[in-house]
Amino acid sequence: SESAAELYTAVDKLIPNLKKEEYEIDEKHKSVALTDDGMEHIEQLLDQNNLLGGGGLYDIQNVALVHHVNQALRAHKLFHLDKDYIIKDGKVVLIDEFTGRMMDGRRLSEGLHQAIEAKERVDIQNENQTLASITFQNYFRMYPKLAGMTGTGMTEAAEFAQIYKLGVISIPTHVSVARIDNQDKIYKSLSEKEDAIVDLIKECYGRKQPVLVGTVSIEKSEVLSERLKKEKIPHNVLNARHHEREAYIVGQAGRPGAVTIATNMAGRGTDIKLGGNAEMRIAEELGENPDQKAIDKIHEEIERDKKTVMEAGGLYIIGTERHESRRIDNQLRGRSGRQGDPGASMFFLSVEDDLMRIFAGDKLEALLGNARIGLQEGEALEHPLISKMLERAQAKVEGMHFEIRKNLLKFDDVMNDQRKVIYEQRREIMEAQSVEDLVRDMRHEVIEDTIRATIPHGSYAEQWDTDALHTECQRLLGLDLPIDEWAKEEGIADAELLERITEESDKKIAAKVADTGSDLWRRMEKSIVLQLLDQQWKEHLLQLDHLRQGINLRAFGQKDPLNEYKTEAFAAFELMIDQMRESITQTLSLVEIRAADTPFPPRRQQEEFHESRDDPALEGEGSIMQDMQNSKNVRQMPLRNRSDAPFDKNDPETWGKTQRNAPCPCGSGKKFKHCHGQLAGHG
């Protein structure tokens, strides 16, 4: 809304006033927090700008303001233009840190994206709400078989084994690798490192050896580009901002003297051929229906160029710094020396690099500043032990990220059970010709719960809360019943009262069906059930998201956050099921059908839903959103089919159809409708 956008902008203007000592940045864990002095200062600034709603910043009425301040602080101190995001067409577009590509359509949650938009003075978009979510791990587990192929999987072998129970096998190359991987060169400062990189590029350019320079961000690729322009070295820049001719630029990166500066996106899916790519040159230079002589000429040039490049030493890969993941470094190296071609690679590092500064800075600085080593200005340190130390730093970062993913998966496993129940129920509703039985059972259960809440079991009529029962019948069923008169009848019991209310409710619905027409009512009934199911699930996801954010604080009370989350999430799920039954019962009992001027369409058009790019379950073939529009596709989903699996009392997917009044297959001794059937809402 407009007021929310104004608040993001107003808070954003205050952050630059904070001094460096008024906040603490933890780059290792990517977090930032105000110090005590910072809290006092921001409180004064908010008060001066009439943003503080009375009291202190941390008083209950200012909770939303604290959230805005924290997100604005993160936007300014943790997210950087041309590294974490770019501005494209007046919008903030995120950059994937591993691939270097733009993530169009993906937005940060909890108001963080809006805080970045306020920082960059672009239009502030509305916050998104999650319609559905699933982790990649649980998404992949839905398939009965998993396999993959990658050139850099060995560094993640432990994670594949632990999460997916998959082994990683290294297949020897068909032709021996002729690439020479040089030791890393480490410099004391960033400027010394940049000078050394430019010198090596000039040297390679002089002998017509093609060079591919890998950078970690758009900003750094453009800084290096400016240096090369000053040296009058022709080159191509490939990053998320200049990606239109990506395939062609990478395809020609192997030509003699070619210099290509690229972020992590360098050439994924495109082979760098020494001498250049003939097909691409023909398409680019000759257009449609090219002359055979011209084609032959290009092939001859490429053969000649290939010979020149191979004599010069093949493609030279220069890494301007190490990435947090060894896998990304290996991918960059792997662009050279393919199919037995010659090549070389070298990484240039400095103590000021992000990875070095955060994870190995103190040790390296002490080592490079050691008087016995005696490094002069512009001199580099090269040693296998240093390279090993850097690899250990990278392994430490990878291990930390793995622990985060593993912990996230444990929490998502809790929600995954609930997700299966809801999606299965939704699929059944989509496939069913009519949801009449399901809706009737829900309504009867709501009436039963209402009776139970207002009439204590085995009590006398004088103890009944007839006013509350009368109010609830009006609110939920739209029925004005003589509850007081019934309660005064001789020998009346709660069971008889339940029977009368149920009978009146059934009569009312039957009258609605008769007035509306059975076909129209059934279609409308199904549509309402689906809409309310989606609405309740969406709100439940938001509630679980909030629960997840604060649950780790339970550890201070000597409680296991995961067990606490399981308990709270299950209670929230039960509450959601109850609320869904109530809302469906109430909506169908109170809905009024008026005759329209135009006939009702054969099939109601579904509202357009905004699909979140974060959620693979909402995209592509077999997606939930696709199911909503075409229920015939449900059986085409490539999901694990459990119908033929042996019966397992711990796995509801193996139970098949269970009657509502039958004993629950889990062995609890309860009726199915009061146990697992209550969760699934089976009809």
Give the CATH number for residue 358.
3.40.50.300
The residue among 418 and 670 whose pLDDT is bigger is 418
The pLDDT-based confidence of 126 (bands split at 50, 70, 90) is: confident
Task: Based on the fold, state whether residues 468 and 503 are members of the same structural domain.
Answer: yes
Whole-number pLDDT of residue 281: 84
Whether 232 shows a pLDDT value over 80: the answer reads yes
What average pLDDT does range 229-254 have in this prediction? 84
Answer for the pair 556, 564: CB distance below 8 angstroms, yes or no: no
Decide which of 295 and 3 is more confident: 295
Q: Which residues pair with 343 in a beta bridge?
A: 179, 315
154 or 619, which is more confident? Answer: 154
Tell me the pLDDT tens digit for each residue of 437-447. Answer: 999 999 999 99
607 pLDDT tier (thresholds 50, 70, 90): very low
Look at residue 387 in the predicted model and tell me its pLDDT: 78
Confidence of residue 212 (pLDDT cuts 50, 70, 90): very high
Which of 349-358, 379-388, 636-645 has the lowest average pLDDT? 636-645
DSSP helix/strand/coil, 346: strand
pLDDT for residue 454 is more than 60: yes
Number of domains within the chain = 4
Render pLDDT for 302-343 as a digit per residue (tens, 0 to 9). Answer: 999 999 999 999 999 999 988 888 888 888 888 888 888 999
Q: In terms of domains, do 58 and 192 share one? A: no
Digit-coded pLDDT (tens) for 627-657: 434 433 333 333 334 444 566 666 676 776 6
Residue with tokens 């010709």: 433
Percent of the chain whose pLDDT exceeds 90: 37
Q: Of 605, 631, 658, which closes a domain?
A: 605
| CA pair distance 358, 354, nearest whole angstrom | 6
Q: Could you tell me whether strands 342-350 and 185-187 are parallel, antiparallel, or unpaired per DSSP bridges?
A: parallel
pLDDT at 580 over 60: yes
* Contact call for residues 442 and 579 (beta carbons, < 8 A): no
Structure tokens at 15: 């952050």
Give 233's pLDDT tier (boundaries 50, 70, 90): very high
- DSSP 8-state class, residue 61: G
Q: Are residue 228 and residue 335 in the same domain, yes or no?
A: yes
Mean pLDDT on 430-442: 91
pLDDT tens by residue, 35-91: 999 999 999 899 888 888 777 777 777 878 888 999 999 999 999 998 889 998 899
The tens digit of pLDDT for each residue in 490-530 reads 777 888 888 999 999 999 999 999 988 888 999 999 999 99
Q: Are 19 and 150 in a shared domain?
A: no
> Looking at per-residue confidence, does 397 or 641 come out higher?
397
411-412-415 Cα angle (round to 5):
105
Task: Look at residue 601 in the predicted model and tell me its pLDDT.
Answer: 52
pLDDT at 604 over 90: no
Going from the C-alpha of 431 to that of each of 383, 649, 681, the distances in angstroms are: 66, 26, 16
Q: Is 29 found in the same domain as 57? A: yes
Residue 148 and residue 259 in one domain: no
What pLDDT band is residue 197 in, cutting at 50, 70 and 90? very high
Residues 183 and 78 in one domain: no
pLDDT of residue 147: 93
**DSSP SS3 for 79:** coil
The number of residues in the chain equals 683
User: Does 88 reside within a domain?
Assistant: yes
CB atoms within 10 A of CB 207: 13
Where a domain ends, among 107, 142, 171?
Answer: 171
| Residue-level pLDDT at 428 | 92
Q: How far is CA 431 from the centre of its chain?
A: 30
Same domain? For 331 and 252 the reply is yes
**10 Å Cβ neighbour count for 671?**
15
Give the orientation angle of helix 326-333 with respect to helix 384-431, to 10 degrees. 100
Start-to-end C-alpha separation, the chain: 41
Task: Please state, for a pLDDT cut of 70, what percent of the chain lies above it.
Answer: 84
Query: 223 with 285, same domain?
Result: yes
pLDDT, position 2: 54
Look up tokens 């949650």; give the residue.
109
- Coil, helix or strand for 181? strand
Q: What is the CATH number of the domain that holds 504?
A: 1.10.3060.10
Of the candidates 576, 605, 634, which is a domain's last residue?
A: 605
| Mean pLDDT for all residues in the chain | 82
- What's the gap between Cα 167 and its chain centre? 26
Split at pLDDT 50, 70, 90, the class of 368 is low
Q: CA–CA separation, 276 vs 252, rounded Å?
A: 5
Distance between CA atoms of residues 185 and 323, nearest Å: 15
Integer Cα distance of 98 and 290 in angstroms = 39
- Do 87 and 154 share a domain, yes or no? no
Here the tokens at position 266 are 């360098």
Q: 169 exposed, middle or buried (CB, 10 Å; 0-12, 13-18, 19+)?
A: exposed
- How high is the pLDDT of residue 464? 84
637 neighbors 556 (Cβ within 8 angstroms): no
User: Is residue 349 in some structural domain?
Assistant: yes
Using DSSP's 3-state secondary structure scheme, residue 94 falls into: strand
pLDDT (average), residues 534-561: 89
Q: Is residue 448 part of a domain?
A: yes
Let me know if residue 397 belongs to a domain: no
Residue 384 to residues 7, 320, 354, Cα–Cα distance (Å): 53, 18, 21
Does residue 435 form part of some domain? yes
Q: What pLDDT is recorded for position 645?
A: 57
Strands 259-262 and 236-238: parallel
pLDDT of residue 217: 85
Please indicate, yes or no, if residue 225 is contained in any of the structural domains: yes
Residue with tokens 């699929």: 427
Do residues 248 and 371 both lie within one domain?
yes
Task: Evaluate if residue 683 carries a pLDDT over 60.
Answer: no
User: For residue 89, what is the domain's CATH number?
Assistant: 3.90.1440.10
Residue range(s) defining the domain that contains residue 497: 410-605
| 594 and 541 within one domain | yes
659, part of any domain: no
DSSP string, 576-642: HHHHHHHHHHHHHHH------SSPPPSSPPPPP----TT-GGGSSTT-HHHHHH-GGGGGG------
Q: How far apart are CA 212 and CA 454, in angstroms?
A: 76
Determine, yes or no, domain membership for 672: no
| Mean pLDDT along residues 212-227 | 90
Q: Which of 586, 400, 582 is nearest to 477 (CA)?
A: 586
DSSP codes joined into one string, 192-247: HHHHHHHHHHHHHHHTT--EEEE-SSHHHHHHHHHHHHHTT---EEESSSS-TTHH
